[in-house]
Amino acid sequence: MATATLGRRGKAAPFRTRERRRANLRALLYLSPWIVGFGVFFAYPLISTVYFSFQRYDMFTLEPVGLLNWKYFLRDDAAWTSIKNTLWLVVVMVPLRVVFGLGVAQLVTKLKAGAGVFRTIFYLPSLVPLVAGTLGFVYLLNPGTGPVQAILGAVGIPSPDWFGDPAWSKWGLTLLALWSVGDLMVIFMAALLDVPKQLYEAAALDGASAWQQFTRITLPVIRPVVMFSAVTGVIQTLQYFTQAMVAARVASGATDSAGSVFTPGYPDGSTLTFPEWLFQEGFRDFAMGYACVLALILFAVSMIFTLILLRQFRGFSEEEA
Amino acid sequence: MKRLLVLSATAGLFLMTACTAGTETSAPKIDASSTSHEPVTIEFWHGFSADNELKAFQDTLEGFKKQYPWITVNATKAVQDDQIIQSVRGGNPPDVALSFTTDSVAQFCKANIFQDLNPYLTASKINASTLFPKVIDEYTQYAGKRCVMPMLADTYGLYYNKKLMKGNEPPKTLSELADLAKKLTVKDSKGDIKVAGFVPTSQMYENAPIHTGVMVGAKWTNPDGTSAIGADPQWKTLLTWQKDLTDWYGYDKIEKFRKSFGDEWSADNPFNKGQVAMAVDGEWRNAMLAADAPDLDYGTAPMPVADDQAQRYGAGFIAGTVIGIPRGAKNPEAAWDLVKYLTTDTNALVTLSNAIRNVPSTLPALQSPDLKKDTNFQTFLDIFANPNSTTLPAHINSAFNQQTLQEAQIKWESGRAPDLNALLAGVDKTINEKLKLTAGD
């Protein structure tokens, strides 16, 4: 009897297994574009990066070195300087951009006449290529030949060496970021124009001041947009590279000649950002194993902020629901 | 599913290993020259970009074409080292590549980015040790492997504007240089600099420590590759001297003045425009001055030396352009013909030297009667021949070491780092830690 039961089971089981396997294969087939993309563009690079972080790798030869690259990170002063600078930009530049972008958006949405002109004026700088914009800023603020220094000097106002003094260089980059705040302005304008007018009318009837209207109506309604801008701003700033690299290079007066070397971060490492140091280690000094350590750290931090963003969005969606 | 994961991981590791460029397994079979005279086009990347250099280089390549009519050279200008390395990494290198700096030679040789040229030299019966001056040997090979050849050499000296010197002789010691620099400096009523006798900061175009360290005979590394900077009192002598003169100008004033300068490689170079009376520069400036400022009355002299090292006066820093055949070059035999021509042919070297005023890098070319030797250029030939002249021997972290010292110098000159001993100890620590990372056991 037992044998017969087993026999029946033995007959049915391969059929179901075949079916299941076929269904699995079909699912895999449908999923294959994503699986291939995920594997080639995410999983493989990630696994490689982890693997290389335990190797001495000059992009030509591999040599296992255990935890050497990870231990070096703890002793690498330049890496810690770059972390401090990147955090400074996250803490100072990102909030200032959000506040300034929101302020400008408020102004241009309130304008009765010439709104189009002002919107264009504020938006245009964000279309200027990063390198060109940075070159322009460094030229304008150059202590030797820059017109800003000349004008301020003519009226007796002293001006710092914006990109040549470590106390001012990050503020110089922040000015540049505020100048090109047009991208945020557009997002905030869309959000502000979406706030129901009736809320303001009702608040005005109740005697609410402009500040009360802003804090009690505008901000709560556009909160998801502010949050989005802040978190994406943080993620972008964690990858801050081009402006810092160009500004330091041009401001230092470094020249491309034999014996002349340039390290990003001029002056005194004050503009050195984490991605710049990663680039320097990986693609200039060819310490690619160590650069992989830096890349993994950057990935982990960026991932944390991405998760915060996702959680916030989920929160907003639930609130709306 | 588990099997799929194991398979993926194995494939991933295999791919990773496959995607890292491997090492050469056997020495190539080399002929003395191209055996086939089938027409061939070779790619050649170089770093020349100034108009006079490009023209001279093109003329030299035409000389090559006459000697090797079946080889067409497709030259690409203004290429930097990192582009060369990336091309080799990507498996699409040029047949011949030239680098302006010797900083990467150790990396080129250690990682086999450039092919070992010893088999080519043997096949061509060229004895490098008798063809090149000894000092050149130090920067064209690493750990016994010669992966590049020297193509012209550079030496550094002091250029002075005769009109601005007001009859003064060029200084021979650092004290004389500082005194004269102060004497020749012109400031306006606000204290802004109009003409500087000498700009002492390390950020001035060719004032990098690799060039100025020779003025005091300073040492970079110990035989084991670790930093000798902190322990060598000569660096302190040089940096203290630079700081004193910088303070005399005022760091902000000298920086404001420096940042008003035009591009080093253009006619707006401050020496061409009479903004500085004396400047450290390479021998190539002679040709650029002839092209961009033909009316400028100038002279050249060796760089001043430390006050207590008068016997070293006449020495200078020597480096040069290097050229080789990258790994993966598609036409290595034709490439070797070009490398051989540009680095060993006396006529080619003399023609190039006469045109762009670089120092020829072979002994026969240095002794050639066709080599033009005007007074200003002769200074650099003498520096080249001086037994006290030095180079920076190939080091795996050559560029990093220089960057580390120069960054410390900027902090020191600006007054932002007041303790020189602590600063240089920090330089040692950084350099030694990096050495462990890139080449430690």
Q: pLDDT band for position B5 (50/70/90)?
A: very low
- B260: chain A residues, CB-CB within 8 Å: 142, 144-145
B340-373: pLDDT as tens digits? 999 999 999 999 999 888 899 998 999 999 999 8
Surface of A (140-199) touching B: CB under 8 A: 142-145, 161, 164, 166
pTM of the model: 0.84
Mutate to test the interface with B, among A42, A48, A60 (most CBs of B within 10 A): A60
Residue B14 lies in a domain: no
The average pLDDT across B4-20 equals 46
Surface of A (283-302) touching B: CB under 8 A: 283-287, 290
Question: Is A252 part of the contact surface with chain B (CB cutoff 8 Å)?
Answer: yes
A60 contacts B257? CB cut-off 8 A: no
Mutate to test the interface with A, among B403, B405, B411, B416 (most CBs of A within 10 A): B403
Residue B25 lies in a domain: no
- A57 phi/psi in degrees, rounded to 5: -135, 110
Residue B4 lies in a domain: no
Residue B28 lies in a domain: no
Q: Are residues B109 and B129 in the same domain?
A: yes
Strand pairing report for B193-198 and B276-282:
parallel
Q: Are residues B147 and B195 in the same domain?
A: no
Based on its alpha-carbon atoms, the radius of gyration of chain A, rounded to whole angstroms, reads 27
B100 contacts A258? CB cut-off 8 A: yes
- CATH label of the domain that carries residue B331: 3.40.190.10
pLDDT for the residue numbered B266: 87
The average pLDDT across B77-95 equals 89
ipTM at complex level: 0.82
Start-end of H helices in B132-277: 134-140, 162-165, 174-184, 209-212, 233-249, 251-258
CA distance A146 to chain B (A): 9
Q: Which long-range contacts (CB under 8 A, 24 or more apart) does B328-331 make?
A: B328/B88, B328/B91, B328/B92, B328/B93, B329/B93, B329/B94, B329/B95, B329/B96, B329/B115, B330/B95, B331/B40, B331/B42, B331/B95
Domain that holds residue B271: 155-311+395-439
B109-149: pLDDT as tens digits? 988 899 999 999 999 999 988 888 888 877 888 888 899 99
* Residue of chain B whose Cα is closest to the Cα of A249: B203
Q: Are residues B271 and B179 in the same domain?
A: yes
pLDDT for the residue numbered B17: 42
Q: Are residues B165 and B146 in the same domain?
A: no
Q: Are residues B209 and B258 in the same domain?
A: yes
A142 contacts B85? CB cut-off 8 A: no
Residue B299 lies in a domain: yes
- B436: chain A residues, CB-CB within 8 Å: 68, 72
How many percent of chain B have pLDDT more than 70?
92
Please determine, for residue B14, whether its predicted confidence score (pLDDT) is greater than 70. Answer: no
* Residue of chain A whose Cα is closest to the Cα of B20: A60
Output the DSSP codes for B216-236.
Answer: TT---B-TTS-B-TTT-HHHH
pLDDT for the residue numbered B24: 42
Q: Are residues B431 and B292 in the same domain?
A: yes
Q: What string of H, E and C letters represents the secondary structure of chain A?
A: CHHHHHHHHHHHHHHHHHHHHHHHHHHHHHHHHHHHHHHHHHHHHHHHHHHHCCEEECCCCEEECCCHHHHHHHHCHHHHHHHHHHHHHHHHHHHHHHHHHHHHHHHHHHCCCCHHHHHHHHHHHHHCCHHHHHHHHHHHCCCCCCHHHHHHHHCCCCCCCCCCCCCCHHHHHHHHHHHCCHHHHHHHHHHHHCCCHHHHHHHHHCCCCHHHHHHHHHHHHHHHHHHHHHHHHHHHHHCCCHHHHHHHHHHHCCCCCCCCCCCCCCCCCCCCCHHHHHHHHHHHCCCHHHHHHHHHHHHHHHHHHHHHHHHHHHHHHHHHC
Determine the Cα angle at A8 with ends A7 and A9, to 5°: 90
Question: Is A31 part of the contact surface with chain B (CB cutoff 8 Å)?
Answer: no
Residue B21 lies in a domain: no
- B208: chain A residues, CB-CB within 8 Å: 259-261
Residue B12 lies in a domain: no
B12 contacts A143? CB cut-off 8 A: no
Please determine, for residue B201, whether its predicted confidence score (pLDDT) is greater than 60. Answer: yes
A166 contacts B416? CB cut-off 8 A: yes
pLDDT for the residue numbered B355: 87
pLDDT-flagged residues of chain A (< 50): 1-8, 259
Residue B286 lies in a domain: yes
Q: Are residues B259 and B361 in the same domain?
A: no
Surface of A (62-81) touching B: CB under 8 A: 62, 68-69, 72, 75-78
Higher local confidence (pLDDT), A141 or B161: B161
A62 contacts B256? CB cut-off 8 A: no
A68 contacts B203? CB cut-off 8 A: no
Number of domains in chain B: 2
Question: Is A59 part of the contact surface with chain B (CB cutoff 8 Å)?
Answer: yes
In the CATH scheme, what architecture does the domain A77-320 have? Orthogonal Bundle (1.10)
B178-190: pLDDT as tens digits? 999 999 999 998 8
Higher local confidence (pLDDT), A256 or B403: B403
CA distance A117 to chain B (A): 36
Q: Are residues B197 and B300 in the same domain?
A: yes
Q: Within 13 Å, how many C-alpha atoms sit on residue B273's CB side?
A: 15
CA distance A252 to chain B (A): 7
**Which of B385, B404, B426 is the last residue in one of the domains?**
B385
Q: Are residues B298 and B413 in the same domain?
A: yes
